[in-house]
Amino acid sequence: MNDFNAARDIPILLGAFFVLTAAIGLIRFPDLYSRLHASSKLITLGSAGIFIGVGLEFAQTEALTRLAAVLLFQFLTTPLSAYLIAQAAYLRGLEPLLEGPDEWNALGKAALLDERLEETGGR
């Protein structure tokens, strides 16, 4: 158990820490929209740290190119799913817990929802 390798283990430990805080944030933040902040940002960098550590462990071209591809798609898909979850929740009328203004007001919300319902045929 003594084979601690700083270049490999520090990124993995940092990544694991961020994934852990993402889990804690998911439970502790007050509403869906705030929880999306924890899941989107922390999971992205957390898994990036773990992937980088794994890549340095193998240190071969094949492993590095595959991990680069995994990282790229992680960075492309995580924000997309956060965006879709936030938009779907808001347009379906889930009230956000706000202390500041809501500049995407109810009127615009209703108009967009009608448009969306027309597009999908009411589904």
Residues at the interface with other proteins (CB under 8 A): 17-18, 21-22, 24-25, 28-31, 33-34, 36-38, 40-42, 44-46, 61, 64-65, 75-76, 78-80, 82-83, 86-87, 90-91, 96-104, 108, 111-112, 115
Tokens encoding 33: 């929209």
Shortest distance (Å) from residue 114 CB to other proteins: 11
Closer residue to other proteins (CB): 25 or 57:
25
Shortest distance (Å) from residue 81 CB to other proteins: 10
DSSP 103: S
Residues in Cβ contact with 49 at an 8 Å cutoff, skipping those fewer than 6 apart: 11, 12, 14, 15, 16, 18
Distances (CA, A) of 54 to 7, 23, 110: 10, 22, 47
Task: Report the C-alpha gap between 92 and 20 in whole angstroms.
Answer: 30
Shortest distance (Å) from residue 58 CB to other proteins: 14
Closer residue to other proteins (CB): 93 or 115:
115
